[in-house]
Amino acid sequence: MKNIVIINGPNLNMLGTREPEIYGSETLTDIQKLCEKKASVLSLNLKFHQSNLEGELISWVQEAGKNAQGLIINPAGFGHSSVALMDALLAIKIPAIEVHISNIYKREEFRHQTYTGRAVKGIITGFGSLGYILALEAMASLI
Distance of CA 96 to the CA centre of its chain: 9
Q: What is the pTM of this model?
A: 0.93
Distance of CA 109 to the CA centre of its chain: 21
List phi, psi (to 5°) of 41: -60, -35
Domains of the chain, residue spans: 2-142
Which of 23, 49, 115, 132 is catalytic? The answer is 23
Q: Is 100 a catalytic residue?
A: yes
Instruction: Residue 38: count other Cβ atoms within 10 Å of its Cβ.
Output: 18
Q: Which fold has domain 2-142?
A: Rossmann fold (3.40.50)
Query: Residue 56 in contact with residue 35, Cβ under 8 Å?
Result: no
pLDDT tens for the chain, 143 residues long, are 999 999 999 999 998 887 777 777 899 999 999 999 999 999 999 999 999 999 999 999 999 999 999 999 999 999 988 999 999 999 999 999 999 998 887 777 866 689 999 999 999 999 999 999 999 999 999 99
Which of 49, 100, 115, 132 is catalytic? The answer is 100
